[in-house]
Amino acid sequence: MRMSKFVSILLFLLFASVAYAQQPDTLSYSYDQQDYYEEGEETYEYEPSDEEKIVQDESDEARERVLFIEDLYDYALYLLDADSLVNRYAKYENQDAIIEFVSNPSELEGLERKFEVVDMQSEEPFFFCKEYLFNDNQAWDFIYERLYDKNGKLILFVRQYNTYNSGCAEVAFERSEYYWSESGELIRKTYEIYDSHNTSLDIQECWMEREVYDKIMDKESFLLAHPFPTTNDETIEEPAKE
């Protein structure tokens, strides 16, 4: 009798423990990787920078002005390609002075900036400078092109940038162009982003560096900031009087 009662108690305790083990746990401690990323993800709203904005004055006067500027710009690029009327300068590490640039491998070591300058004194004078900013691998990261009119006012500024770290292409390129009227009003602003195959990219899927730079709106200020060596420093002596 005692034995059967003892067995009954054991069976009751065994049944109770099994039933308790089958009760659902009201607290969940599971927190896998997917939960982590979903909970930690923040909504990001992309805002275009000034570099990417588009401006287009549709007036006839603005269009004529843009065509005039494009003609001067094309002529300046033609002279660069033809290596005609071009002066080249360079700025090196640990050197304050800008010196004349000679294109050979030894001149690339420590090169920080290179300048290609066309100072046209003709019926339609203009001043053009193409400035390259180099990285430690002697490859350009940024290019700035400035075109000043006969009055020394900036009428065209072009910024180019390339990077391997955009996250949206093996190499991504950025190009912005700014055009100004005679009165100094911005009448046209373009923006492009593309890969090495000239395929357009979506800036919202890319990361592009936003450096600080100065367009420098007049030629005089540009030359003060970039004192190029001149070849007209030699003193010409007058012939002796007999």
Query: Which pLDDT score is estimated for 160?
Result: 96
The reply to whether 143 falls in a domain is: yes
82-134 per-position pLDDT tens digit: 999 999 999 999 888 999 998 765 667 889 999 999 999 988 899 999 999 99
Query: Which pLDDT score is estimated for 11?
Result: 52
The reply to whether 1 falls in a domain is: no
Hunting for tokens 């034995």 — which residue is that? 3
For residues 113 and 120, the answer to whether their CB atoms sit within 8 Å is: no
Query: Which pLDDT score is estimated for 140?
Result: 81
Q: Each residue of 110-141: b (16+ CB within 10 Å) or e?
A: ebebbbbbbbbeeeeebbbbbbbbbeeeeebe
Length in residues, the chain: 242
The reply to whether 120 falls in a domain is: yes
- 1 vs 22: CA distance, rounded Å: 32
The reply to whether 239 falls in a domain is: no
- 237 vs 32: CA distance, rounded Å: 86
67-80 per-position pLDDT tens digit: 999 999 999 999 99
The reply to whether 9 falls in a domain is: no
The residues near 133 (Cβ < 8 Å, ≥ 6 apart) are 112, 113, 140, 141, 142, 143, 144
Hunting for tokens 């190029």 — which residue is that? 228
Side-chain-side CA neighbours of 104 within 13 Å: the count stands at 3
The reply to whether 83 falls in a domain is: yes
137-190 per-position pLDDT tens digit: 767 899 999 999 999 999 999 999 999 989 999 999 999 999 999 999 999 999
Range of the domain at 157: 50-225
The residues near 228 (Cβ < 8 Å, ≥ 6 apart) are 87, 89, 98, 115, 117
- 184 vs 62: CA distance, rounded Å: 12
29-67 per-position pLDDT tens digit: 233 333 333 444 444 444 557 889 999 999 999 999 999
Query: Which pLDDT score is estimated for 152?
Result: 97
The reply to whether 234 falls in a domain is: no
Query: Which pLDDT score is estimated for 24?
Result: 40
Domain count, the chain: 1
**Rg of the chain (C-alpha set):** 34
226-240 per-position pLDDT tens digit: 999 974 444 334 434
The reply to whether 31 falls in a domain is: no
- 138 vs 108: CA distance, rounded Å: 7
